[in-house]
Amino acid sequence: MSSALITGITGQDGPYLAKLLLEKGYRVHGLTPRRSSDNLWRLRELGIENDVDFVNGDLADAGSVQRAVASVKPDEFYNLGAQSFVAASWDQPVLTGVVDGIAVTHCLEAIRQFSPKTRFYQASTSEMFGLIQAEKQDEKTPFYPRSPYAVAKLYGHWITVNYRESFGLHASSGILFNHESPLRGLEFVTRKVTDAVARIKLGRQKELRLGNIDAKRDWGFAGDYVEAMWLMLQQDEADDYVIATGVTTTVRDMCRIAFGHLGLKMEDHLVIDPKFFRPAEVEVLLGNPAKAKARLGWEAKTSLEQLIRNMVDADMKRVSKETSC
């Protein structure tokens, strides 16, 4: 039985990846810090809470990461843990730098010392491209990060490359463009929109307040993207891959899809609020996943329209339960 250790297993991507690996017969371990609040709802929603072996540890604590790797000696290590909300990175730049940047070194160093045959996946991000240097971004496009989050992720990306080249570790980075799902946190724009649309439809609120709705993003489904993570670690040679749909859409059009799904008019409820504009905006992101398709045989399966409809439907069920209580 193959084994995997996943950080960030209680976030959005972790449960989808854990479910995929469990279906493939893996023993799945999740690195989780001790917290008083309930953070397992996503695993419960996918019906796998009791199928994961939890290991106590925190990415910011090198010793606990080392103990986890030495104890589990996983065949595969997926580092999905991060402070992943871009807006919060301006308020917490040091924390973001530690968790999203330095902590990647904790993982790689633990593997190098205690389990050098472990294959490592680093969750990089399209935000590293920032002020884009090419119309479509691929693995050779120069990076120009525009937030503390992106800067920290860029360190994590390059330290992964460095350990691959310096120590021969099987260490790959997935440069994932925006990927969403019904498990997305409410602070992220897609879920903020779908939750608000459900609440407006059910009479729980009247308006949705957003910032720059003309920003363009390449949005896909997280459930599709975790398959690409797994495929990277099945290759003979480690490498870095852009994972994207190859289609970019404005926040405005994404909102129209969500409101329209429930027969609502976006213009009747959407309010532009300057406080939601970022200090340095990333205006356009558009990925070129040609390498992933050619080498991994991977491509996105879920359209943005279907993704947003699924998210709206899930939020309608959640908000309906609230109103019935």
Residue type, 38: D
Which of these, 10, 9, 4, lies nearest to 230 by C-alpha position? 4
Count CA atoms closer than 13 A to 17's CA, side-chain side: 31
Which tokens sit at 132? 């884009």
Which tokens sit at 202? 């059910």
125 is catalytic: yes
Residue with tokens 């199928």: 51
Which tokens sit at 109? 């160093």
The angle subtended at Cα 211 by Cα 207 and Cα 214, nearest 5°, is 110
Distance between CA atoms of residues 156 and 131, nearest Å: 19
Contacts of 25 (CB under 8 A, 6+ apart): 1, 2
Residue with tokens 């463009």: 177
In this structure, the number of other CB atoms found within 10 A of the CB of residue 34 comes to: 7
32, 118, 125, 160: the active-site residue: 125
245 is catalytic: no
16, 149, 163, 225: the active-site residue: 149
User: For residue 217, what are the CA distances in angstroms to 16, 250, 283?
Assistant: 22, 6, 8
127, 163, 245, 248: the active-site residue: 127
Which of these, 246, 269, 265, 247, lies nearest to 192 by C-alpha position? 269
Which tokens sit at 319? 């908000």
Contacts of 195 (CB under 8 A, 6+ apart): 186, 315, 318, 319
139 is catalytic: no
Q: Catalogue the active-site residues.
A: 125, 127, 149
